[in-house]
């Protein structure tokens, strides 16, 4: 058994230890050491886990799009082939394209077929058109209208051919339904560019106009009708 004296000594010792401990703590808080410089950033963390796979989409729409694109590509290839053939043919016929030429102070357009074109832009009968073109050393156009490809080039050069109706050098004056060009050659079926339903010879229509109702196609008109003139002459 501990005596009371021993207990008192022990309590005094414990109290001294606690007080010493408090003094140490107080000493640390009253004079904290200064912080060091911040260290460099740590290395980047690992990539996160791969996400879940998405739902499978429908491929029908994509296949339709691819099919449509293939169709358009095919059409474009065909157009390019046709244009290349036209250019090749024109080069064989007319040599290097000379697209514009000033003749008699007027600008004439050359689609590359060896002829030049000019429009007299006032309303006139077919015979008046022949006369007007003749005054310009030309005839009413016959060579270009024989070819849709050449006319496409000429229409790009002369926008009036897409907005006005103009006489071309083609009539069936010699015999109803027998159309002959001003150069004396007969109209070939491969050259014909009639608007559907034409020629209909309504009221004795024997002369031909291009770009009927803005279709770029032909209609037979009475020769007394008033159209502008598309004149054609050699270079
Ligand atoms: Ca007729
Ligand atoms: Ca007609």
Per-residue pLDDT reduced to its tens digit, 65-110: 999 999 888 888 887 787 777 667 666 665 566 799 999 999 999 9
User: From CA 198, how far away is CA 4, in angstroms rounded?
Assistant: 140
Please give the average per-residue pLDDT across 3-23, as a whole number.
Answer: 45
**128 C-alpha to ligand 1 centroid (Å):** 19
Residue 2 pLDDT greater than 50, yes or no:
no
**204 C-alpha to ligand 1 centroid (Å):** 5
User: From CA 143, how far away is CA 8, in angstroms rounded?
Assistant: 137
**170 C-alpha to ligand 2 centroid (Å):** 13
pLDDT at site 126: 98
Q: Give domain limits for the chain.
A: 100-234
Q: Which CATH architecture has domain 100-234?
A: Roll (3.10)
Q: What percent of the chain has pLDDT over 70?
A: 72
**220 C-alpha to ligand 2 centroid (Å):** 4
Lowest mean pLDDT among 62-76, 101-115, 184-198: 62-76
**123 C-alpha to ligand 1 centroid (Å):** 21
What pTM was estimated for this model as a whole?
A: 0.61
Residue 151 pLDDT greater than 80, yes or no:
yes
Ligand with the closest atom to the CA of 173: 1
Q: What percent of the chain has pLDDT over 90?
A: 60
**225 C-alpha to ligand 1 centroid (Å):** 13
- Which has more pLDDT, 147 or 49? 147
């Amino acid at each position: 058994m501990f005596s009371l004296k021993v207990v008192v000594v022990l309590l005094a010792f414990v109290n001294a230890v606690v007080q010493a401990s408090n003094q140490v703590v107080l000493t640390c808080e009253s004079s904290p050491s200064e912080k060091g410089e911040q260290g460099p950033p740590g290395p980047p963390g690992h990539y996160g886990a791969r996400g879940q796979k998405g739902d499978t989409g429908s491929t029908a729409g994509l296949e339709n799009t691819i099919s449509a694109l293939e169709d358009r590509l095919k059409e474009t290839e065909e157009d390019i082939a046709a244009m290349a053939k036209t250019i090749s043919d024109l080069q064989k016929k007319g040599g290097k394209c000379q697209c514009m030429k000033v003749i008699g102070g007027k600008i004439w357009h050359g689609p590359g077929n060896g002829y030049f074109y000019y429009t007299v832009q006032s309303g006139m009968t077919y015979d008046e058109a022949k006369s007007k073109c003749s005054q310009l050393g030309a005839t009413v156009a016959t060579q270009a209208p024989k070819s849709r490809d050449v006319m496409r080039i000429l229409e790009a050069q002369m926008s009036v051919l897409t907005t006005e109706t103009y006489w071309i050098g083609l009539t069936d004056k010699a015999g109803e339904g027998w159309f002959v060009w001003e150069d004396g050659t007969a109209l070939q079926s491969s050259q014909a560019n009639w608007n559907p339903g034409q020629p209909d010879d309504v009221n004795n229509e024997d002369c031909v106009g291009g770009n009927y109702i803005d279709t770029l196609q032909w209609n037979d008109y009475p020769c007394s009708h008033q159209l502008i003139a598309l004149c054609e002459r050699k270079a």
